[in-house]
Chains A and B, each alone.
Chain A
């Protein structure tokens, strides 16, 4: 093993440009991947929070049987819970937030209709539930914060998708770099490899230094990426928490560690898989 390890280091030293190119793209890929994963984690948390807060409000026409409608909407599969607030209860609530509301009601009458308040299981279902409820007889109007919910979900999903697409491209770039690095290294060792084949070396023995090279590159890239990503994320998270406390930014280590560990492990796996594939392929080419 010492021999293989030494050969791997010699090969990396002998092909500095290819090694550096591979290390750079691998580090960038892992950084990007880590960033996207952390973003996804926070997006999911934000969506969860939105989901727990989003409410569909159905305003009823005067004289409508609210209790019957309440039973009807509770039977909708997307609805997690529903309550009926009478116009008087709504006025009370409004008066708590806006004390002049009761004075206004005394002058012009209670303007608030009886209201059904519905909580949905998933934020994406708000629109469907709103459409279903608005079609019910006795419902005058429905509000569900469509503007900000839909847009937020769309934006966050798009950002997450774009991030994954970018990571996919970077992974591909990284793999090509590993293939190239191994190819250059094997070409440089072609005489030695040809002697090894004649002397009866197994394929595994010949490929081993290149596989070690891939794993070492993966380890180095993972270490670099984590060394950059961890402090950068924690710094950014504390700032976001300070200036926009409405976002539930994840900062607790037990949640973050599996993600960061996964990024590190992926680095090693990419290095291993890339070098296994490349050494197998180029050894065939040399034969």
Chain B
């Protein structure tokens, strides 16, 4: 599904080496943690998968195709196949939970008659069907993050990227969010979670990739947090 071959990413303005000769593969249907200190390259990895950046050297392939081949409209189409969840949930304040989730369907051109069923299913998956009319300010941070997950999965993307999805949450809400992400993975979606949360990685064990200064220093197929 995702293949990095000797990928180096250097940000030209700051001359920061974000990824250094990184090679890894993530297969379809996997649940993978990406761990490492701040600046280890977790977000840069995500940015490359989303084509918000291009590698300075090496090759990134998504679904068998080189990242550089995704241009113009194809970049938008690539992103439609990737659900994203961030630490800052990026919900639109003026829209309620239902409309925030439906926003994905709107921008991707899904016919309106399909919205109700798909949004309700997505909200049910994250356990928030009863709060569909609540505005983001009326939801707890954990609930907001679950709405963001619902928005990310409503179009049934084959890949879900979550960058520090529990960064702003207390332990209880963090566990809630992780359970939701696991459920999404059980439906067949490949899930990649970049996180600092050692306890979650230890509790919900999955393949764990450890990055340090942009290099892959450990690939533990059975999980565990070791920096």
A residues touching B (Cβ–Cβ < 8 Å)? 3, 191-192, 194-203, 205
Contact = CB atoms under 8 A, between A and B. Distances in A.
Interface string B80-104: 1110100000101000000000011
A3 B106 contact: yes
Nearest to B95: A192
B92 A199 contact: no
The 9 closest A-B pairs by CB, nearest first: A200-B80, A200-B79, A201-B107, A202-B76, A200-B76, A199-B104, A199-B107, A198-B84, A196-B107
B50 interface: yes
A199 B153 CA distance: 11
Nearest to B88: A191
Interface residues of B, number: 19
Contacts, number: 39
Given A194-B90, A199-B84, 20 more contacts: A3-B106, A195-B92, A195-B103, A196-B107, A197-B79, A198-B50, A198-B79, A198-B84, A198-B90, A199-B79, A199-B80, A200-B76, A200-B77, A200-B79, A201-B76, A202-B73, A202-B76, A203-B76, A205-B107, A205-B109
Q: Is the interface of A mostly helix, strand, loop or mixed?
A: helix
A137 B1 CA distance: 98
B108 interface: yes
Secondary structure call for the B interface? helix
A187 to B, nearest CB: 16
B90 A200 contact: no
29 contacts: A191-B92, A192-B92, A194-B90, A195-B90, A195-B92, A196-B107, A198-B50, A198-B79, A198-B84, A199-B80, A199-B84, A199-B103, A199-B104, A199-B107, A199-B108, A199-B151, A200-B77, A200-B78, A200-B79, A200-B80, A200-B81, A200-B82, A200-B108, A201-B107, A201-B108, A202-B73, A202-B76, A205-B107, A205-B109
A192 to B, nearest CB: 6
A194 B91 CA distance: 11
Contacts of A197: 79
Contacts of B77: 200
A176 B122 CA distance: 44
B159 to A, nearest CB: 12
